[in-house]
Amino acid sequence: MDEAPIIVEPLADLTNYRQAKSHAGVLQAYTRRPVEDPKHVTAEEADRAEARAIQLANFVPFEGIPRSDAATLAQILQRLEQMETNINHRFNHIEEKIDNLEKKINNVEVIALKALNGTRGDGTWIEYELIPFTDGKLPSHQTYQVDTQPPYVYLRRATDIAKLQSAQLTQYLSSYGVAAAAMPTTVKAKRKELYRIIGVSADLLSAYDALSP
């Protein structure tokens, strides 16, 4: 045997929109019971519950919600839900644009840093700038200095790259987005690719290419 609905009083105790909407729906169902039925709920009581749901969804004073028939209130709630959906869609679109903008900014930053490194010879007099990895983090980030063991070596000079072993070169190139299928197979080829990624000048790259074993 079904029980009479619990009418929340005061309605201010309903602080969650979905909870208030569900409560209003239950009361609305009980308005269709005969008046003499002990479980009957008045339309006024159901409307007040609907108004509380609207108030929570629209952030307007509870007393400012116009009392109307249930059908009108249902239409208002439907419109509010559509507004919520549209707002969420717009926020998602904005977030997507922000992500794309951040990627473009990171790409420009990498290009600028590589160009700067190309003017610094072998990095002996003026050290190279660190180039961000594909995740946007620098080799100096905690991810690569604390969470990764052994930590990544800072590539401040051309000789820093020349000292890297094959496994270290592979580790660096992978972090710079070189896929396993495209990974150079020899140490010399790996070093050359890393020189290029760091931004070592073409002249210096040719010189190292000629001297490297």
pLDDT digits (tens, 9 = 90+) for 24-74: 888 888 888 888 888 888 888 888 888 877 777 765 555 545 555 556 666
Lookup result for tokens 């660190």:
130
14-18, 28-32, 140-144, 207-211: least confidently modelled range: 207-211
Q: Give the Cα separation of 83 and 89 in Å (integer).
A: 10
Give the long-range contacts of residues 17-24, CB within 8 A, separation 24 or more: 17/53, 17/56, 17/57, 20/49, 20/52, 20/53, 20/56, 21/53, 21/57, 21/77, 23/49, 23/52, 23/53, 24/49, 24/50, 24/52, 24/53
56-65, 95-104, 133-142: least confidently modelled range: 56-65
Print burial letters for 132-156: b (CB count within 10 Å at least 16), e (below 16).
bbeeeeebebebbeeeeeeebeebb
Q: Give the Cα separation of 159 and 163 in Å (integer).
A: 6
47-56, 94-103, 148-157: least confidently modelled range: 47-56
28-37, 75-84, 169-178: least confidently modelled range: 75-84
Q: Give the Cα separation of 164 and 153 in Å (integer).
A: 8
Average pLDDT, whole number, for the chain?
A: 82
- Look up the pTM and report it: 0.54
Q: Give the Cα separation of 58 and 81 in Å (integer).
A: 10
* pLDDT recorded at residue 45: 83
